Amino acid sequence: MRGDTPATTAATANASATPAGTPGSSASTLADRDNGELRIDRVSYEYGGGRHPVVAAVDAVDFRLPAGRLGALVGPSGCGKSTLLRLAAGLFEPTKGRISFGSTSPAELRKRRRVGFAFQDPALLAWRSVRHNVELPFDLAALPTDRAWIEELLAIVGLTEWADRRPRELSGGMRQRVSLARALATKPDLLLLDEPFGALDEITRSELNLELLRILSATGTTCLLVTHSVDEAVLLADRVVVLSNRPCAVRLVYDVPEARERRGASRDTIEFLDHCRTVRAALAG
């Protein structure tokens, strides 16, 4: 499934070294995934300066996310979660500390088109069909379109029948699925999701949570998710990072036991509620 585009060529060189049994190892996975751990090493970020006051947004945040796993960032509104996500995408440079993904930096990873980003607002282009919206990253990154993968992606997100429709013809949940597919279009090593389900109703949100788990299981992509919902974080993530108020610092890094096996069937179990309670307690400080 990977390595079809020029940008992925280098990454596929050592694909055979991928250990069997890891997420996504059923397909030819990336070399970078061997050691594709996302490392956030005491990262701080300040913005402003000059005529504007310097504002500290992120303060010595330190955590790791193993390859092929899903991490969730939970914290109060405006604490700097999205800034942290942009730092992980290489869109901002840390003021202090270092971010790496495997042996490479996020900026380098982004240059190689190996980062996928889904925003809270799906921001689909009204003049493009669903299929062409999913193909957009290829156009923007000046890469040849991998049509077979696009069709596969549309099937993964369950939108094959809607592929020729325009975004206005879709429901909110379907739009978010298109946005997810678009973020996965260039087969990223690192998928960053900035509250992608924040604007959706509870039913659609639950449906998309399951959808996301299924997609990530299918693609084996390392994913960092920003969410306001503790339930969502515990349900989806292998590792939940609880952040404090601005400037955000890590309050708790919580590894959710048996997260991969749990899937969507255990929201009402005592264990699940216990995990949520732990995370909520850390969030409350």
Q: Please state, in angstroms and rounded to a whole number, the distance separating the CA atoms of residues 36 and 11.
A: 11
3-state secondary structure of 60: strand
In the complex, minimum distance from the CB of residue 220 to another protein, in angstroms, rounded to a whole number: 9
Q: Please state, in angstroms and rounded to a whole number, the distance separating the CA atoms of residues 212 and 220.
A: 11
Residue of 39, 46, 47, 111 interacting with another protein (CB under 8 A)? 111
Contact yes or no for 264/210 (Cβ under 8 A): yes
3-state secondary structure of 55: strand
Q: Per-residue string for binding with another protein, 2-41, x by CB under 8 A?
A: ------------------------xx--------------
Q: Please state, in angstroms and rounded to a whole number, the distance separating the CA atoms of residues 90 and 189.
A: 13
Q: Which is nearer to another protein, 114 or 251 (CB)?
A: 114
Does 64 participate in binding another protein (rule CB under 8 A)?
Answer: no
For 15-111, list the strands marked E by DSSP. Answer: 38-49, 52-65, 70-74, 96-101
Which part of the chain contacts another protein (CB under 8 A), choosing from 54-62, 229-237, 247-255, 261-269?
A: 261-269
Does 205 participate in binding another protein (rule CB under 8 A)?
Answer: no
Contact yes or no for 195/118 (Cβ under 8 A): no
In degrees and rounded to multiples of 5, residue 101 shows phi and psi of -125, 105
Does 68 participate in binding another protein (rule CB under 8 A)?
Answer: no
| Site size with another protein, rule: CB under 8 A | 45
- Positions touching another protein (CB under 8 A) are 1, 26-27, 89, 91, 110-111, 113, 115-117, 119, 123, 125-127, 136-137, 139-142, 152, 156, 158, 165-166, 168-171, 174, 186, 203, 207, 210-211, 213-214, 217-219, 263-265
